[in-house]
Amino acid sequence: MKLTCTQSNLNSNLSLVSRAVPSRPNHPVLANVLLAADVENQRLQLTGFDLGLGVRLVG
């Protein structure tokens, strides 16, 4: 799968989602942002979570 988007869109959306990602997580998996692609609708979903707060952007 190939993903194409502008650098500015990806940067602004990642900065929003990364606010929910802790700087020193208790679990290593919480130090990441999940990128999920929806091929049928051609959308990208970004998710950040810290066990108390979650941010999901669909674009």
The residue ranges of every structural domain in the chain are 7-58
What is the maximal distance between C-alpha atoms in the chain? 36
φ, ψ for residue 28 (rounded to 5)?
-60, -30
What pLDDT, on the 0 to 100 scale, is given for residue 51?
87
51: left (phi over 0), alpha (psi -120 to 50) or beta: left
Cβ neighbors of 53 (< 8 A, separation 6 or more) are 20
Per residue in 30-51, pLDDT (tens digit) is: 899 999 998 888 889 999 998 8
Residue 48: CB atoms within 10 A of its CB come to 22
pLDDT at 12 over 90: yes
Tokens found for residue 35: 């990128």
User: What is the rounded average pLDDT of the residues 12-24?
Assistant: 90
